[in-house]
Amino acid sequence: MTHTFDVVIVGAGGAGLRAAVEIPAGFSCAVLTKVHPLRSHTGAAQGGVCAALGNLEEDTPEWHAFDTVKGSDYLGDQDAIEVMCNDAPRAIIELEHMGMPFSRTHEGKIAQRPFGGHTRPVDKTDPNSKRIPVKRACYSADRTGHVMLHTLYENCIKNRVNFFSEFFVTELLYEDGVCSGVAAIDILSGEVHIFHAKAVMFATGGDGRIWRITSNAHVGTGDGFILAYHKGLPLEDMEFMQFHPTGLWRLGILVSEAARGEGGILRNSVGERFMEKYAPTVKDLAPRDMVSRAMLTEMREGRGIKGSDGTSYVLLDLTHLDPKIINEKLPEITGFARTYLGVEPTTEGVPVQPTAHYAMGGVPTDIDGRALRSNKGDIVRGFYAAGECACVSVHGANRLGTNSLLDLIVFGRRGGKAISEFLKHAELPKLANGAGEFTRDTVSKLKASRGNQKCATIRTELQDSMMEDVGIFRTDKGMAAAVAKVAELKERFKDITIDDKGEKFNTDVLEAIELSNLLDTAEVVATCALNRKESRGAHAHEDYPDRDDANWMKHTFATKGDDGKVLIDYKDVTVTKYQPMKRVY
Protein backbone atom coordinates (compact mmCIF):
# COMPACT_ATOMS: atom_id res chain seq x y z
CA MET A 1 0.00 0.00 0.00
CA THR A 2 1.32 3.46 -0.88
CA HIS A 3 0.39 6.71 0.89
CA THR A 4 1.28 10.19 -0.32
CA PHE A 5 1.80 13.14 2.03
CA ASP A 6 3.57 16.46 1.83
CA VAL A 7 5.62 15.61 4.92
CA VAL A 8 6.17 12.42 6.90
CA ILE A 9 7.54 12.68 10.45
CA VAL A 10 8.95 9.49 11.97
CA GLY A 11 8.64 9.55 15.75
CA ALA A 12 5.95 11.06 17.96
CA GLY A 13 8.02 12.34 20.87
CA GLY A 14 8.55 15.99 21.68
CA ALA A 15 10.61 16.84 18.59
CA GLY A 16 8.34 15.11 16.10
CA LEU A 17 5.13 16.54 17.57
CA ARG A 18 6.60 20.05 17.89
CA ALA A 19 7.56 19.91 14.21
CA ALA A 20 4.11 18.61 13.23
CA VAL A 21 2.42 21.52 15.02
CA GLU A 22 4.28 23.89 12.68
CA ILE A 23 3.02 22.35 9.41
CA PRO A 24 0.36 24.80 8.19
CA ALA A 25 -3.11 24.03 6.94
CA GLY A 26 -3.05 23.20 3.25
CA PHE A 27 -0.18 20.74 3.59
CA SER A 28 -0.73 17.12 4.58
CA CYS A 29 1.32 15.76 7.47
CA ALA A 30 1.68 12.17 8.67
CA VAL A 31 3.36 11.10 11.93
CA LEU A 32 4.54 7.48 12.11
CA THR A 33 5.43 5.88 15.43
CA LYS A 34 6.28 2.39 16.70
CA VAL A 35 4.02 2.97 19.69
CA HIS A 36 1.04 5.17 20.49
CA PRO A 37 2.22 8.81 20.51
CA LEU A 38 1.54 9.16 24.23
CA ARG A 39 3.87 6.21 24.88
CA SER A 40 6.81 8.03 23.27
CA HIS A 41 9.93 8.24 25.41
CA THR A 42 9.64 12.01 25.92
CA GLY A 43 6.93 11.10 28.44
CA ALA A 44 9.61 9.62 30.71
CA ALA A 45 11.44 12.95 31.09
CA GLN A 46 10.95 14.14 34.63
CA GLY A 47 12.86 17.09 35.96
CA GLY A 48 12.30 20.07 33.70
CA VAL A 49 13.02 22.12 30.59
CA CYS A 50 15.39 25.02 31.01
CA ALA A 51 15.17 28.67 30.02
CA ALA A 52 16.63 31.84 31.43
CA LEU A 53 13.24 33.27 32.45
CA GLY A 54 14.59 34.72 35.67
CA ASN A 55 11.34 34.08 37.53
CA LEU A 56 13.02 33.40 40.90
CA GLU A 57 16.42 35.03 40.48
CA GLU A 58 18.34 36.95 37.83
CA ASP A 59 19.34 34.91 34.79
CA THR A 60 20.32 35.54 31.16
CA PRO A 61 20.49 33.46 27.95
CA GLU A 62 24.20 34.27 27.82
CA TRP A 63 24.80 32.60 31.18
CA HIS A 64 22.79 29.62 29.95
CA ALA A 65 24.90 29.47 26.77
CA PHE A 66 28.14 29.61 28.74
CA ASP A 67 26.99 26.73 30.96
CA THR A 68 25.98 24.68 27.92
CA VAL A 69 29.32 25.23 26.17
CA LYS A 70 31.25 24.39 29.32
CA GLY A 71 29.01 21.40 30.03
CA SER A 72 29.66 20.12 26.50
CA ASP A 73 33.38 20.10 27.36
CA TYR A 74 33.79 22.61 24.53
CA LEU A 75 32.69 20.18 21.83
CA GLY A 76 29.30 21.86 21.34
CA ASP A 77 28.93 24.17 18.33
CA GLN A 78 28.59 27.58 19.91
CA ASP A 79 26.52 29.18 17.15
CA ALA A 80 23.83 26.48 17.58
CA ILE A 81 24.04 26.74 21.38
CA GLU A 82 23.45 30.50 21.22
CA VAL A 83 20.39 29.93 19.02
CA MET A 84 18.96 27.41 21.48
CA CYS A 85 19.58 29.43 24.63
CA ASN A 86 18.37 32.72 23.16
CA ASP A 87 15.20 31.02 21.90
CA ALA A 88 14.52 29.17 25.16
CA PRO A 89 12.36 31.79 26.95
CA ARG A 90 10.10 32.24 23.91
CA ALA A 91 9.84 28.44 23.48
CA ILE A 92 8.68 28.00 27.08
CA ILE A 93 6.10 30.79 26.91
CA GLU A 94 4.82 29.31 23.65
CA LEU A 95 4.32 25.92 25.35
CA GLU A 96 2.50 27.67 28.19
CA HIS A 97 0.18 29.31 25.66
CA MET A 98 -0.44 25.90 24.07
CA GLY A 99 -1.75 24.73 27.44
CA MET A 100 1.21 23.03 29.13
CA PRO A 101 0.49 22.98 32.91
CA PHE A 102 3.73 24.13 34.49
CA SER A 103 4.17 24.19 38.25
CA ARG A 104 3.77 27.73 39.59
CA THR A 105 5.23 30.13 42.10
CA HIS A 106 2.98 31.86 44.64
CA GLU A 107 2.83 34.81 42.20
CA GLY A 108 1.57 32.55 39.43
CA LYS A 109 4.78 32.56 37.41
CA ILE A 110 6.30 29.38 35.95
CA ALA A 111 8.25 27.71 38.76
CA GLN A 112 11.97 27.06 38.33
CA ARG A 113 14.55 25.01 40.23
CA PRO A 114 18.30 24.32 40.09
CA PHE A 115 19.73 21.59 37.86
CA GLY A 116 23.20 20.14 37.37
CA GLY A 117 25.69 22.39 35.58
CA HIS A 118 23.32 25.39 35.39
CA THR A 119 24.94 28.34 37.16
CA ARG A 120 25.21 32.10 37.46
CA PRO A 121 28.30 34.19 38.26
CA VAL A 122 28.54 35.57 41.77
CA ASP A 123 29.87 38.79 40.22
CA LYS A 124 27.82 39.40 37.06
CA THR A 125 30.35 42.01 35.86
CA ASP A 126 33.04 39.33 35.76
CA PRO A 127 32.09 36.21 33.73
CA ASN A 128 35.12 34.40 35.15
CA SER A 129 34.04 34.86 38.75
CA LYS A 130 32.91 31.98 40.96
CA ARG A 131 29.62 30.48 39.76
CA ILE A 132 26.83 29.04 41.90
CA PRO A 133 23.69 27.03 41.01
CA VAL A 134 20.81 28.99 39.45
CA LYS A 135 17.09 28.20 39.29
CA ARG A 136 16.65 27.75 35.53
CA ALA A 137 14.67 24.51 35.10
CA CYS A 138 10.95 25.07 34.39
CA TYR A 139 8.99 22.04 35.55
CA SER A 140 5.68 20.29 36.08
CA ALA A 141 6.34 18.45 39.36
CA ASP A 142 8.50 15.54 38.17
CA ARG A 143 6.35 14.75 35.11
CA THR A 144 7.55 17.51 32.79
CA GLY A 145 8.03 15.35 29.70
CA HIS A 146 4.68 13.65 30.29
CA VAL A 147 2.68 16.87 30.26
CA MET A 148 4.74 18.28 27.40
CA LEU A 149 3.94 15.22 25.31
CA HIS A 150 0.21 15.45 26.06
CA THR A 151 0.13 19.16 25.31
CA LEU A 152 1.83 18.76 21.93
CA TYR A 153 -0.30 15.75 21.01
CA GLU A 154 -3.49 17.66 21.77
CA ASN A 155 -2.30 20.52 19.54
CA CYS A 156 -1.51 18.06 16.75
CA ILE A 157 -5.03 16.63 17.00
CA LYS A 158 -6.39 20.18 16.81
CA ASN A 159 -4.29 20.72 13.65
CA ARG A 160 -5.62 17.47 12.11
CA VAL A 161 -2.25 15.75 11.88
CA ASN A 162 -2.56 12.19 10.54
CA PHE A 163 -1.18 9.61 13.00
CA PHE A 164 -0.07 6.12 12.01
CA SER A 165 0.47 4.43 15.39
CA GLU A 166 2.31 1.11 15.64
CA PHE A 167 4.02 1.53 12.28
CA PHE A 168 7.68 0.46 12.37
CA VAL A 169 9.78 2.39 9.83
CA THR A 170 12.40 0.10 8.28
CA GLU A 171 13.69 2.01 5.22
CA LEU A 172 14.65 5.56 4.38
CA LEU A 173 13.84 6.06 0.69
CA TYR A 174 16.87 8.02 -0.44
CA GLU A 175 18.60 8.17 -3.79
CA ASP A 176 20.98 10.60 -5.53
CA GLY A 177 20.89 13.12 -2.71
CA VAL A 178 17.09 13.25 -2.56
CA CYS A 179 14.78 11.81 0.11
CA SER A 180 11.42 10.59 -1.22
CA GLY A 181 9.79 8.91 1.78
CA VAL A 182 9.98 5.84 4.00
CA ALA A 183 8.86 2.22 4.09
CA ALA A 184 7.22 0.87 7.23
CA ILE A 185 5.67 -2.28 8.63
CA ASP A 186 2.10 -1.99 9.93
CA ILE A 187 2.63 -3.94 13.15
CA LEU A 188 -1.02 -4.97 13.41
CA SER A 189 -1.29 -6.55 9.94
CA GLY A 190 2.36 -7.18 9.05
CA GLU A 191 1.82 -5.40 5.73
CA VAL A 192 4.56 -3.19 4.27
CA HIS A 193 3.45 0.38 3.53
CA ILE A 194 5.21 2.99 1.41
CA PHE A 195 4.96 6.63 2.46
CA HIS A 196 5.81 8.87 -0.49
CA ALA A 197 6.57 12.44 0.56
CA LYS A 198 8.20 15.71 -0.39
CA ALA A 199 9.91 15.90 3.00
CA VAL A 200 10.78 13.44 5.76
CA MET A 201 11.80 14.23 9.33
CA PHE A 202 13.38 11.67 11.65
CA ALA A 203 12.58 12.22 15.34
CA THR A 204 13.19 8.62 16.34
CA GLY A 205 14.97 9.00 19.68
CA GLY A 206 18.10 7.33 20.98
CA ASP A 207 19.93 4.02 21.27
CA GLY A 208 20.12 3.39 25.03
CA ARG A 209 19.12 -0.26 24.62
CA ILE A 210 22.69 -0.99 23.50
CA TRP A 211 23.61 -0.98 27.22
CA ARG A 212 22.39 -3.37 29.92
CA ILE A 213 21.43 -0.71 32.47
CA THR A 214 19.49 2.08 30.76
CA SER A 215 16.73 4.57 31.45
CA ASN A 216 15.57 4.29 27.82
CA ALA A 217 12.28 2.73 26.81
CA HIS A 218 12.39 -0.59 24.98
CA VAL A 219 11.81 1.27 21.70
CA GLY A 220 15.18 3.06 22.01
CA THR A 221 16.99 0.83 19.52
CA GLY A 222 18.78 3.38 17.33
CA ASP A 223 16.49 2.87 14.32
CA GLY A 224 16.82 6.39 12.93
CA PHE A 225 20.60 6.37 13.19
CA ILE A 226 20.98 3.17 11.25
CA LEU A 227 18.40 3.84 8.52
CA ALA A 228 20.38 6.97 7.61
CA TYR A 229 23.77 5.25 8.04
CA HIS A 230 22.82 2.39 5.70
CA LYS A 231 22.09 4.95 2.98
CA GLY A 232 25.62 6.32 3.18
CA LEU A 233 24.73 9.33 5.30
CA PRO A 234 27.02 10.26 8.20
CA LEU A 235 26.52 9.98 11.94
CA GLU A 236 28.17 12.57 14.18
CA ASP A 237 29.85 12.13 17.60
CA MET A 238 28.36 8.69 18.26
CA GLU A 239 31.04 7.87 20.86
CA PHE A 240 29.43 10.22 23.37
CA MET A 241 26.75 8.49 25.45
CA GLN A 242 25.60 10.13 28.64
CA PHE A 243 25.19 8.00 31.72
CA HIS A 244 22.72 9.61 34.12
CA PRO A 245 24.09 9.23 37.64
CA THR A 246 20.84 8.29 39.35
CA GLY A 247 19.10 5.30 37.91
CA LEU A 248 17.33 2.96 40.32
CA TRP A 249 19.77 0.21 41.26
CA ARG A 250 19.62 -2.84 38.92
CA LEU A 251 16.67 -1.44 36.97
CA GLY A 252 18.04 1.75 35.44
CA ILE A 253 14.70 3.53 35.84
CA LEU A 254 15.45 7.23 36.02
CA VAL A 255 15.48 9.13 39.29
CA SER A 256 15.47 12.69 38.00
CA GLU A 257 18.15 15.23 38.75
CA ALA A 258 15.23 17.21 40.14
CA ALA A 259 15.67 15.18 43.34
CA ARG A 260 19.11 16.74 43.77
CA GLY A 261 17.79 20.08 42.53
CA GLU A 262 15.36 20.04 45.45
CA GLY A 263 18.19 19.25 47.89
CA GLY A 264 18.88 15.53 47.60
CA ILE A 265 22.39 14.35 48.54
CA LEU A 266 24.46 11.42 47.29
CA ARG A 267 26.10 9.39 50.06
CA ASN A 268 28.52 6.46 50.01
CA SER A 269 28.69 3.43 52.29
CA VAL A 270 30.15 5.44 55.18
CA GLY A 271 27.49 8.15 54.89
CA GLU A 272 29.88 10.68 53.34
CA ARG A 273 28.56 13.38 50.99
CA PHE A 274 31.26 12.48 48.52
CA MET A 275 30.49 15.02 45.76
CA GLU A 276 32.13 17.68 47.94
CA LYS A 277 35.46 16.10 46.93
CA TYR A 278 34.80 16.12 43.19
CA ALA A 279 32.89 19.40 42.68
CA PRO A 280 33.35 21.53 45.81
CA THR A 281 31.30 24.49 44.55
CA VAL A 282 28.19 22.87 43.05
CA LYS A 283 28.56 19.47 44.78
CA ASP A 284 25.67 17.15 43.86
CA LEU A 285 24.59 19.51 41.07
CA ALA A 286 27.71 18.97 38.99
CA PRO A 287 27.18 17.90 35.35
CA ARG A 288 26.08 14.32 34.84
CA ASP A 289 29.31 12.94 33.42
CA MET A 290 31.24 14.15 36.46
CA VAL A 291 28.73 12.82 38.97
CA SER A 292 28.57 9.42 37.24
CA ARG A 293 32.36 9.10 37.28
CA ALA A 294 32.46 10.15 40.92
CA MET A 295 29.89 7.51 41.87
CA LEU A 296 31.74 4.77 40.02
CA THR A 297 35.03 5.89 41.56
CA GLU A 298 33.52 5.58 45.03
CA MET A 299 32.35 2.06 44.16
CA ARG A 300 35.73 1.08 42.69
CA GLU A 301 37.51 2.28 45.82
CA GLY A 302 35.28 0.20 48.08
CA ARG A 303 32.90 2.87 49.30
CA GLY A 304 29.91 1.59 47.37
CA ILE A 305 27.16 -0.46 48.98
CA LYS A 306 26.98 -4.10 47.89
CA GLY A 307 23.61 -5.26 46.69
CA SER A 308 22.12 -8.72 46.89
CA ASP A 309 23.24 -9.49 43.33
CA GLY A 310 26.86 -8.50 43.98
CA THR A 311 26.67 -5.15 42.21
CA SER A 312 27.27 -1.85 43.97
CA TYR A 313 25.29 1.33 44.44
CA VAL A 314 25.28 4.55 46.46
CA LEU A 315 22.37 6.22 48.22
CA LEU A 316 20.37 9.24 47.20
CA ASP A 317 19.40 10.78 50.52
CA LEU A 318 16.13 12.75 50.62
CA THR A 319 15.33 12.10 54.28
CA HIS A 320 16.30 15.62 55.40
CA LEU A 321 13.73 17.19 53.05
CA ASP A 322 10.25 18.22 54.11
CA PRO A 323 7.93 15.30 53.20
CA LYS A 324 5.69 17.89 51.52
CA ILE A 325 8.47 18.64 49.02
CA ILE A 326 8.98 14.94 48.35
CA ASN A 327 5.32 14.18 47.86
CA GLU A 328 4.34 17.32 45.93
CA LYS A 329 7.42 18.05 43.82
CA LEU A 330 8.82 14.52 43.40
CA PRO A 331 5.78 12.21 43.46
CA GLU A 332 6.72 10.03 40.48
CA ILE A 333 10.35 9.52 41.46
CA THR A 334 9.54 8.57 45.03
CA GLY A 335 6.70 6.37 43.83
CA PHE A 336 9.17 4.43 41.68
CA ALA A 337 11.41 3.86 44.71
CA ARG A 338 8.51 2.58 46.76
CA THR A 339 7.07 0.40 44.00
CA TYR A 340 10.18 -1.16 42.49
CA LEU A 341 12.64 -1.28 45.40
CA GLY A 342 10.36 -1.22 48.45
CA VAL A 343 12.19 1.84 49.79
CA GLU A 344 10.50 4.70 51.66
CA PRO A 345 12.35 7.88 50.51
CA THR A 346 11.13 9.99 53.44
CA THR A 347 12.94 7.75 55.93
CA GLU A 348 15.69 5.87 54.02
CA GLY A 349 18.14 6.42 51.17
CA VAL A 350 17.26 5.37 47.63
CA PRO A 351 19.77 2.91 46.02
CA VAL A 352 21.03 4.41 42.73
CA GLN A 353 23.64 3.65 40.09
CA PRO A 354 24.53 5.29 36.74
CA THR A 355 22.27 4.36 33.83
CA ALA A 356 22.77 4.80 30.07
CA HIS A 357 20.57 7.76 29.32
CA TYR A 358 21.16 10.00 26.31
CA ALA A 359 22.99 9.90 22.97
CA MET A 360 24.79 13.18 22.32
CA GLY A 361 25.51 12.12 18.73
CA GLY A 362 23.23 11.37 15.81
CA VAL A 363 22.27 12.43 12.29
CA PRO A 364 24.14 15.72 11.72
CA THR A 365 21.91 18.70 10.94
CA ASP A 366 22.09 22.47 10.61
CA ILE A 367 20.15 24.72 12.99
CA ASP A 368 17.02 24.31 10.84
CA GLY A 369 16.98 20.53 11.12
CA ARG A 370 18.23 19.89 7.58
CA ALA A 371 20.29 16.68 7.49
CA LEU A 372 23.87 16.96 6.26
CA ARG A 373 25.29 14.70 3.55
CA SER A 374 28.91 15.09 4.71
CA ASN A 375 31.23 17.02 6.99
CA LYS A 376 31.39 19.73 4.29
CA GLY A 377 27.92 20.99 5.27
CA ASP A 378 26.01 20.07 2.09
CA ILE A 379 22.42 19.07 2.83
CA VAL A 380 20.11 16.22 1.80
CA ARG A 381 17.15 17.51 -0.16
CA GLY A 382 13.93 16.80 1.72
CA PHE A 383 15.46 15.05 4.77
CA TYR A 384 15.36 16.54 8.27
CA ALA A 385 16.09 15.32 11.80
CA ALA A 386 15.42 16.63 15.31
CA GLY A 387 15.63 15.49 18.91
CA GLU A 388 17.89 12.79 20.28
CA CYS A 389 18.40 11.10 16.92
CA ALA A 390 19.80 14.36 15.52
CA CYS A 391 23.08 16.10 16.26
CA VAL A 392 22.87 19.88 15.92
CA SER A 393 25.75 19.62 18.36
CA VAL A 394 24.33 21.74 21.13
CA HIS A 395 25.28 19.01 23.63
CA GLY A 396 28.81 18.24 22.46
CA ALA A 397 30.49 15.67 24.69
CA ASN A 398 28.03 16.01 27.60
CA ARG A 399 24.47 17.29 27.79
CA LEU A 400 23.30 19.40 30.71
CA GLY A 401 20.10 18.24 32.36
CA THR A 402 16.91 19.87 31.00
CA ASN A 403 18.66 20.87 27.76
CA SER A 404 17.19 17.75 26.09
CA LEU A 405 13.57 18.88 26.30
CA LEU A 406 14.69 22.34 25.23
CA ASP A 407 16.49 20.82 22.22
CA LEU A 408 13.24 19.06 21.25
CA ILE A 409 11.04 22.12 21.26
CA VAL A 410 13.54 24.62 19.81
CA PHE A 411 14.86 22.51 16.95
CA GLY A 412 11.65 20.56 16.43
CA ARG A 413 9.97 23.93 15.85
CA ARG A 414 12.77 25.22 13.63
CA GLY A 415 12.70 22.00 11.61
CA GLY A 416 8.94 22.24 11.22
CA LYS A 417 9.20 25.84 10.02
CA ALA A 418 12.00 24.95 7.58
CA ILE A 419 9.89 22.10 6.17
CA SER A 420 6.93 24.45 5.79
CA GLU A 421 9.06 26.84 3.73
CA PHE A 422 10.47 23.97 1.68
CA LEU A 423 6.99 22.65 0.88
CA LYS A 424 5.93 25.96 -0.68
CA HIS A 425 8.17 25.28 -3.68
CA ALA A 426 8.89 21.53 -3.54
CA GLU A 427 7.59 19.01 -6.05
CA LEU A 428 6.89 15.41 -5.10
CA PRO A 429 10.15 13.62 -5.97
CA LYS A 430 10.40 10.40 -7.92
CA LEU A 431 10.04 7.46 -5.55
CA ALA A 432 13.38 5.76 -4.91
CA ASN A 433 13.92 2.55 -6.86
CA GLY A 434 12.97 -0.66 -5.08
CA ALA A 435 10.95 1.06 -2.36
CA GLY A 436 9.96 -1.53 0.23
CA GLU A 437 11.96 -4.39 -1.32
CA PHE A 438 14.58 -4.37 1.47
CA THR A 439 11.87 -4.59 4.12
CA ARG A 440 9.96 -7.40 2.41
CA ASP A 441 13.21 -9.32 1.82
CA THR A 442 14.31 -8.85 5.45
CA VAL A 443 11.00 -10.08 6.86
CA SER A 444 10.92 -13.03 4.46
CA LYS A 445 14.45 -14.13 5.41
CA LEU A 446 13.73 -13.82 9.13
CA LYS A 447 10.62 -15.97 8.88
CA ALA A 448 12.45 -18.57 6.80
CA SER A 449 15.49 -18.72 9.11
CA ARG A 450 16.26 -22.05 10.73
CA GLY A 451 19.39 -21.21 12.70
CA ASN A 452 20.33 -22.00 16.28
CA GLN A 453 20.81 -18.47 17.63
CA LYS A 454 18.22 -16.59 19.68
CA CYS A 455 17.74 -12.82 19.61
CA ALA A 456 17.52 -12.59 23.41
CA THR A 457 20.90 -14.30 23.87
CA ILE A 458 22.68 -12.06 21.36
CA ARG A 459 21.05 -8.93 22.75
CA THR A 460 22.09 -9.78 26.32
CA GLU A 461 25.70 -10.44 25.30
CA LEU A 462 25.77 -7.17 23.36
CA GLN A 463 24.43 -5.18 26.29
CA ASP A 464 26.84 -6.80 28.75
CA SER A 465 29.82 -6.12 26.48
CA MET A 466 28.91 -2.48 25.90
CA MET A 467 28.22 -1.92 29.60
CA GLU A 468 31.57 -3.39 30.58
CA ASP A 469 33.81 -2.00 27.83
CA VAL A 470 32.13 1.11 26.39
CA GLY A 471 30.56 2.43 29.56
CA ILE A 472 31.50 5.21 31.95
CA PHE A 473 35.22 4.40 32.02
CA ARG A 474 36.86 3.13 28.83
CA THR A 475 40.23 1.70 27.78
CA ASP A 476 41.76 0.83 24.42
CA LYS A 477 41.80 -2.84 25.38
CA GLY A 478 38.17 -2.85 26.47
CA MET A 479 36.86 -0.93 23.48
CA ALA A 480 38.81 -3.13 21.08
CA ALA A 481 37.25 -6.15 22.79
CA ALA A 482 33.79 -4.58 22.33
CA VAL A 483 34.42 -3.96 18.62
CA ALA A 484 35.47 -7.60 18.23
CA LYS A 485 32.46 -8.80 20.25
CA VAL A 486 30.02 -6.84 18.11
CA ALA A 487 31.60 -8.31 14.97
CA GLU A 488 31.18 -11.80 16.42
CA LEU A 489 27.54 -11.12 17.35
CA LYS A 490 26.79 -9.76 13.89
CA GLU A 491 28.04 -13.03 12.41
CA ARG A 492 25.95 -15.04 14.86
CA PHE A 493 22.93 -12.91 14.02
CA LYS A 494 23.03 -14.36 10.51
CA ASP A 495 22.16 -17.71 12.10
CA ILE A 496 19.21 -16.63 14.24
CA THR A 497 15.77 -18.17 14.27
CA ILE A 498 12.42 -16.79 15.35
CA ASP A 499 9.45 -18.76 16.60
CA ASP A 500 6.56 -16.69 15.24
CA LYS A 501 6.08 -17.12 11.49
CA GLY A 502 2.75 -15.27 11.38
CA GLU A 503 1.78 -11.93 9.91
CA LYS A 504 -0.17 -10.08 12.58
CA PHE A 505 1.56 -8.37 15.48
CA ASN A 506 4.71 -10.41 14.97
CA THR A 507 6.91 -9.05 17.73
CA ASP A 508 9.55 -11.72 17.06
CA VAL A 509 10.23 -10.19 13.64
CA LEU A 510 10.21 -6.66 15.04
CA GLU A 511 12.65 -7.54 17.82
CA ALA A 512 14.98 -9.21 15.31
CA ILE A 513 15.04 -6.07 13.14
CA GLU A 514 15.58 -3.92 16.24
CA LEU A 515 18.45 -6.18 17.30
CA SER A 516 20.04 -5.77 13.89
CA ASN A 517 19.80 -2.00 14.35
CA LEU A 518 21.30 -2.25 17.84
CA LEU A 519 24.25 -4.29 16.55
CA ASP A 520 24.99 -1.84 13.76
CA THR A 521 24.65 1.16 16.05
CA ALA A 522 26.90 -0.47 18.67
CA GLU A 523 29.53 -1.08 15.99
CA VAL A 524 29.56 2.63 15.14
CA VAL A 525 29.61 3.71 18.79
CA ALA A 526 32.41 1.34 19.83
CA THR A 527 34.53 2.09 16.74
CA CYS A 528 34.23 5.86 17.19
CA ALA A 529 35.00 5.55 20.91
CA LEU A 530 38.10 3.44 20.24
CA ASN A 531 39.25 6.02 17.71
CA ARG A 532 39.08 9.04 20.06
CA LYS A 533 42.38 9.16 21.98
CA GLU A 534 41.47 11.60 24.73
CA SER A 535 39.00 12.08 27.58
CA ARG A 536 36.22 14.61 27.00
CA GLY A 537 32.80 14.83 28.63
CA ALA A 538 31.10 11.44 28.72
CA HIS A 539 34.06 9.78 26.96
CA ALA A 540 36.38 8.96 29.88
CA HIS A 541 39.36 7.19 28.30
CA GLU A 542 41.61 5.89 31.07
CA ASP A 543 44.59 5.45 28.73
CA TYR A 544 44.28 9.13 27.76
CA PRO A 545 42.89 10.79 30.90
CA ASP A 546 43.24 14.41 29.72
CA ARG A 547 41.28 16.47 27.23
CA ASP A 548 43.39 17.13 24.11
CA ASP A 549 42.17 20.32 22.44
CA ALA A 550 45.16 20.44 20.07
CA ASN A 551 44.23 17.17 18.37
CA TRP A 552 40.67 16.27 19.33
CA MET A 553 38.56 19.39 19.51
CA LYS A 554 36.68 18.13 16.47
CA HIS A 555 33.52 16.22 15.67
CA THR A 556 33.63 12.59 14.56
CA PHE A 557 31.78 11.86 11.31
CA ALA A 558 31.19 8.12 10.75
CA THR A 559 29.96 6.68 7.45
CA LYS A 560 29.49 3.15 6.16
CA GLY A 561 32.19 2.05 3.73
CA ASP A 562 31.62 -0.08 0.65
CA ASP A 563 33.00 -3.04 2.59
CA GLY A 564 30.56 -2.41 5.46
CA LYS A 565 33.26 -1.08 7.79
CA VAL A 566 32.98 2.16 9.73
CA LEU A 567 34.84 5.04 8.05
CA ILE A 568 35.76 8.05 10.17
CA ASP A 569 36.27 11.67 9.17
CA TYR A 570 36.08 14.91 11.13
CA LYS A 571 34.50 18.36 11.26
CA ASP A 572 35.76 21.40 13.15
CA VAL A 573 33.91 22.61 16.24
CA THR A 574 32.34 26.05 15.78
CA VAL A 575 33.73 28.48 18.37
CA THR A 576 32.25 31.97 18.68
CA LYS A 577 32.97 33.65 22.03
CA TYR A 578 33.88 30.96 24.58
CA GLN A 579 37.45 29.71 24.39
CA PRO A 580 38.20 26.31 25.96
CA MET A 581 39.22 26.40 29.61
CA LYS A 582 39.69 23.84 32.33
CA ARG A 583 36.32 22.36 33.27
CA VAL A 584 35.96 22.56 37.04
CA TYR A 585 32.92 23.16 39.25
What does the DSSP assignment read for 532-555? --S-BTTBEETTS-S--HHHH-EE
Question: What are the beta bridge partners of residue 192?
Answer: 185
In terms of DSSP H, where are the helices of 347-436? 403-423
Strands (E), 440-553: 473-474, 540-541
What does the DSSP assignment read for 225-246? HHHHHTTT--EE-TT-EEEEEE
Q: What letter does residue 248 receive in the DSSP assignment?
A: E
Contact between 554 and 570 (Cβ < 8 Å) = yes
Q: What letter does residue 365 receive in the DSSP assignment?
A: B
If DSSP codes are grouped into helix, strand and coil, which group holds residue 81? helix
If DSSP codes are grouped into helix, strand and coil, which group holds residue 359? strand
18, 212, 267, 288: the catalytic one is 288
90 is catalytic: no
416's torsion region: left (phi>0), alpha (psi -120 to 50) or beta? alpha
Closest by CA position to 240, among listed 100, 414, 83, 74 = 74
Q: Three-state secondary structure along 154-214?
A: HHHHHCCCEEEECEEEEEEEEECCEEEEEEEEECCCCCEEEEEEEEEEECCCCCHHHCCCE
Q: What letter does residue 398 receive in the DSSP assignment?
A: S
**Which residues are catalytic, by number?**
288
